[in-house]
Structure 1
Amino acid sequence: MLGDFIIRVLVMFLGYVYPAFECFKTVEKNRADVEQLRFWCQYWIIVAVLTVFERIGDIFVSWLPMYGELKLAFFVYLWYPKTKGTTYVYESLLQPFIAKYETEIDRTFLELRTRAWDMAILYWKNFSSQGQVKFYEILHYLASQSPRHTTNQMDEAQQQKAPTPEAKTVIHRHSEKQIQKPPMLLNRAVFQAQKADQNG
């Protein structure tokens, strides 16, 4: 397990990080060498093709003994200054194959791009229409729940505050007694004058 981890780290560093840094240095030169740029473009094309085929055929090749070590050696072979295997692999294997099927590949990519765009538009329309329907359903649900909920709460509060018939009688008698009692704030002369007006 540790060996696999070390091999993966080395592949990541020697297959991607170091070549990317060298490519960066080539691009950032004041007068970039066209041959160096071509070399690194060819390298990244080969790595992209290798990565795609590796993802597709991982089941078939990953179990091979020393597969990680062979992959690491291949990456180093591609960019190593003395071997510069990128030029050989690109010009003898990849370029003739791609040149032979270039029109079919272009047509396939164009069809795939058109289908992908059509599917993206279709999914967007479905998503927006379903989202709109769901949004209105949520609003309708909230609108239907809100008044009923507050009405129920108000009814419960009124029922709790509303006195029973027996309590109503007691309250009515109590209020009559309060009316018959003289108010505390009025003095006796004012009270007597009011009583005389009522009797008179």
Structure 2
Amino acid sequence: MLGDFLNRLLLLVFGYAYPAFECFKMVEKNRVEIEELRFWCKYWILVAFLTIIERITDIFVSWLPMYGEMKFAFVIYLWYPKIEGTNFVYDTFVRPYVAKHETEVDRKIMEMRARAWNVFMHYWSNCSEMGLTKFFEMFQYLAGQSAKLNQAVKQVNHVDQVHKKSDDRSLNVPPPPSPNGLRSPMARNKAWSSAAINRVNSPRFSQSQEDTSPTEYEFVNDDDSIPYSPSNSRLQQARLKLRRTKTQN
């Protein structure tokens, strides 16, 4: 007994490849003979029927001994030139059966075609309606997500504005006083400047100035507690004038 793989290989070569090559040579002839053309057409019709039948019968009879070898021998019997079993099988079995049921087969084919078209249109309409529904649902979902995103952005901006206002208010709050009643250098300079200007503008200081001749004084920063800066020049001049007034009195 031949193996299953070898049976399939021989069937493909001698059942399909070789007959196809012979049919090609016949078609490519300058003068095609009608009888030879009819023979190969009958052969391919029988091969088509056998292919359909074996898909069903192989399930039930493939266990028979020599089943693969019998199929191979039958295919050789169909196209072998000295036998040409194709004419016998076709004229005896296939042609009478198909001719008897040809009208019914055509009607069944037309019904199946119309039914297939109706089924196709039914599923096409359902799929189209479902697709439109899903599209609008997705569009509504995206619109809702966009609205939520805009609301979240507005909330974030509002929180940022509130934080910014609170930061601005905290910057405008004056610094707390230093411990133990001490004041900062800027506050001390401002207080000294105000006191010196008030003393210079007093009537006593003005009267003493009328009796004295103007004298140029050089600016000397003899008080280490007052830091030197251009803004303290008036304060130093006022202190020098006060010293001069005291010496004259």
In structure 2, the gaps of 5 or more residues are 175-249
Q: Which has the larger radius of gyration?
A: 2
Structure 2 length-normalised TM: 0.59
Structure 2: distance between partners of 1:24 and 1:67: 30
Q: 1:73 is matched with which residue?
A: 73
Structure 1 length-normalised TM: 0.72
Q: 2:110 is matched with which residue?
A: 110
Q: 2:236 is matched with which residue?
A: none
Q: 2:193 is matched with which residue?
A: none
Does the residue aligned with 2:3 lie in a helix, a strand or coil? helix
List per-residue Cα deviations over 1:121-174 (Å, max 9, x = no partner).
Answer: 222222222222223323332333234235435645764686277534334559
Q: Residues 130 and 95 from structure 1, CA distance in 2 versus in 1: closer, same or farther, beyond 3 angstroms? A: same
List per-residue Cα deviations over 1:89-121 (Å, max 9, x = no partner).
Answer: 101111111122222222222222222222222
Q: 2:17 is matched with which residue?
A: 17
Task: Tell whether 2:136 aligns with 1:136.
Answer: yes
The size of the alignment, in residue pairs, is 173
Q: Residues 125 and 168 from structure 1, CA distance in 2 versus in 1: closer, same or farther, beyond 3 angstroms? A: same
Fraction of identical pairs, as percent: 51
Does the residue aligned with 2:41 lie in a helix, a strand or coil? helix
What does 1:145-164 align with in structure 2 at a 5 Å threshold? 145-149=145-149, 151-152=151-152, 155-156=155-156, 159=159, 163=163
In structure 1, the gaps of 5 or more residues are 175-200
Structure 2: distance between partners of 1:114 and 1:95: 27
Q: 1:181 is matched with which residue?
A: none
Q: 1:28 is matched with which residue?
A: 28
Q: Which moved more, 1:126-135 or 1:35-44?
A: 126-135
Structure 2: distance between partners of 1:29 and 1:158: 90
